[in-house]
Amino acid sequence: MTARKLDYSIFTFLIAFGILAPFLFPNFVTQIAVMWMMILFASSWDTAGGQMGYNSLGNITFFGVGMYISAVVQVGMFYDVAEYTASFGAIKPVFTDAQYYKGLVFGLAAAGVGAALISIPIGLCVLGLRGPYFAIGTLGVAVAVAELVSAWSYVGAGAGISMPVYPGPAGEGSLVFYSLMFVLTIGCLFFLRWLYSTQFGLAINAIRDDEDKAEAMGVHTTLYKSTAWAFAAFFLGISGAIFGNMIGFIEPLEVAFPTATFGIFMVAMSLLGGKGTLWGPVIGAILFHIVKELTWSYMEGMQWIALGAIIIVNIVYFQQGLLGWASDRWPAAFGLIVDKSMTADDRDGDAREAAE
């Protein structure tokens, strides 16, 4: 089982890197934490987008929803949220250490579960749509939720919420959030690897290949689709909660529901690495993040223009992604058995073409 060995060596490498990184690059802890988040973004997007063929442009919704849920829980467990947000930061509540950690734990849990729960009614509305309608519908949901949150004064409307401050030295705080993000991402990857190895993985692949056929075979497509989406929402919700705490201040349009940045990054990274594979999105995310961090600050306002150009070039000229390209080139290394001799000169092959 070489595929299995390869998986475990990649896991070992990632975990080793994750543990060593804060010591090797102490000045870049936050950037590397964001890199883990990007990996999580790309991998969780790929569950619906790559494995199931449901290309969402609105997964960022769950990131923001998780972030807001954790904020409300973390503040609301000890103070009145409406009063807190109405004061625009004038009230600076002091959380004891115990209160802070309790809030954080419950906040993260509520963020994951809450985002997953919210994904179900949203899923019922949009998962019945196919192809472009689904993509546009999810984009619509993301924009609508962002706009509604910006108009909802209970959570601070457009002005946002300040998160409780980590009760310790700043460097220690970023290490804590780094560790949380790292553990979450690795956990997510292990979970997805297991998920894709079960009947569930087959079912969502079948939905991608031919959903009508899957329906005709009696697969509960709606159940599978909403479950797959809820898993993605769960991990995105927690990552949003961690990111909100890491940043310290959340607001709807730029931090919580950035459709045009994180929202589209997920898709671009997944496609760059190769969608529909476990490691493609990971590779895409790492490459994308490194290139972005290295070049972003030198571009002097041109970075967003460059981003648009990258997406176009990625889509138009390099659609199958790095892993897709590699598996076309070396199919045997990916466990694909293509028996050309059996098919190429088979007389039935002509009949197939004639029938099409």
Partner 1 sequence: MFDQIIGNLSVLTAAPIFAVDLLFQGLFIGAIFALAGYGLALVWGVMNVKNLAQGDLVILGGYIAFQLAAWGVHPVVALPIAFVVMFAFGWGIYVLIIRRVVERDLFTSLLATFGLSLLIQQTLNRIYGPEVQVVESGLGSREFADGLMIVPDVRILSLVLASVLAAGIIVFMRYSRMGQAIRATSQDARAARVLGIDTDRVYAFTYALNSAICGATGVLVALIWVIQPFYGIVYSIRAFIIVTAAGLGNLPGVIFTGFGLGIAEKYSDFVLGSEFAIAAVVLFLVFVLIWRQIQMYRVRQVVR
Partner 2 sequence: MTENIIEVRNVSKSYGGVVANHDISLDVPSGKITGLIGPNGSGKTTLFNSVVGYHPTDGGSIKFEGQEISEKRVPDIARLGMLRTFQQTRIYSKMDCMDNMQISVSHRGRSVFDMFSSRKGEIADRAEVLLEFVGLYSKRNLISGELSFGQQKLLEFAMALMNEPKVLLLDEPTAGINPTLINGLIDRLQRANEEFGVTLFVIEHNMRVIMNLAQHIYCLAHGEMLASGQPDELQNNQLVIDAYLGAH
Cα–Cα distance for residue pair 18/196, rounded to 1 Å:
24
String marking each residue 191-210 x if it binds partner 2 according to CB under 8 A: ----x-xxxx-xx-xx-xxx
**332 in contact with partner 2 (CB under 8 A):** no
**54 in contact with partner 2 (CB under 8 A):** no
The residues of the shown chain that bind partner 1, judged by CB under 8 A, are: 55, 57, 125-126, 128-133, 135-137, 139-141, 143-144, 147-148, 150-151, 260, 264, 267, 271, 301-302, 304-305, 307-312, 314-317, 319
Query: Whole-number minimum distance, CB 148 to partner 1, in Å?
Result: 5
| Cβ atoms of 184 and 235 closer than 8 Å | yes
Closest to partner 1 by CB, 305 vs 351, is 305
Closest to partner 1 by CB, 12 vs 319, is 319
Residue 123: which of partner 2, partner 1, none does it interact with, CB under 5 to 8 A by kind?
none
Residue 144: which of partner 2, partner 1, none does it interact with, CB under 5 to 8 A by kind?
partner 1
Cα–Cα distance for residue pair 107/50, rounded to 1 Å:
30
Query: Whole-number minimum distance, CB 349 to partner 1, in Å?
Result: 22
| Cβ atoms of 192 and 43 closer than 8 Å | yes
Q: What is the DSSP string of 231-252?
A: HHHHHHHHHHHHHHHHHSEE-I
Closest to partner 1 by CB, 209 vs 346, is 209
Closest to partner 2 by CB, 36 vs 224, is 224
Residue with tokens 């790559």: 50
Cα–Cα distance for residue pair 4/288, rounded to 1 Å:
26
Closest to partner 1 by CB, 39 vs 272, is 272
Residue 339: which of partner 2, partner 1, none does it interact with, CB under 5 to 8 A by kind?
partner 2
Closest to partner 2 by CB, 214 vs 283, is 214
Q: Rounded to a whole number, what is the distance in angstroms from the first to the last CA of the chain? A: 38
Cα–Cα distance for residue pair 25/17, rounded to 1 Å:
11
Cα–Cα distance list, 308 to 242, 274, 297 (Å): 28, 19, 17
Query: Whole-number minimum distance, CB 126 to partner 1, in Å?
Result: 7
- Main-chain dihedrals φ then ψ at residue 248, nearest 5 degrees: 90, -20
| Cβ atoms of 126 and 61 closer than 8 Å | no
161 beta partners: 250
Which residues form the interface with partner 2 (CB under 8 A)? 195, 197-200, 202-203, 205-206, 208-210, 212-221, 223-224, 227, 336-339, 342-343, 346-349, 351-352, 354-356
